[in-house]
Structure 1
């Protein structure tokens, strides 16, 4: 499972998402940037910054 926390890119933002695939996490993060943070143009560098911050989520021990 992959996880992205927006606060690692936009300080103070509590939004996060997770999905099995990095591509889906990236897609959701880009949509969040547009809808919440008013980013009309998502530059390749922004996508790179998002991807740099995607982490593998560790499963909770049972």
Structure 2
């Protein structure tokens, strides 16, 4: 499972998502940036920053 935490891109934001595919995470993150942070234009550099911050979710035992 892959995960993305918006706070790694937008300090102070607690939103996060997880999915099997990075493309699904990017789509959710872009939607979140538009709805929550008021971003109307999502530049390719932002998409690359999202991708760079996606990580493998660690299993917590």
Q: TM-score category by the smaller chain?
A: over 0.9
Aligned residues: 61
Q: CA deviation at 1:60?
A: 3.1
- Quote the residue 2:21 is aligned against: 21
Q: Distance in 2 between matches of 1:48 and 1:21?
A: 15
Q: Equivalent residue of 2:12, what SS?
A: coil
Q: CA deviation at 1:58?
A: 1.9
Using structure 2 for the length normalisation, give the TM-score. 0.95
Q: Distance in 1 between matches of 2:11 and 2:60?
A: 26
Structure 2 unaligned segments of length 5 or more: list them: none
Q: Cα RMSD between the aligned structures?
A: 0.7
Q: Distance in 2 between matches of 1:30 and 1:43?
A: 10
1:5-55 deviation line (CA, Å, top 9, x unaligned) = 000000000000000000000100000000000000000000000000000
- Quote the residue 2:43 is aligned against: 43
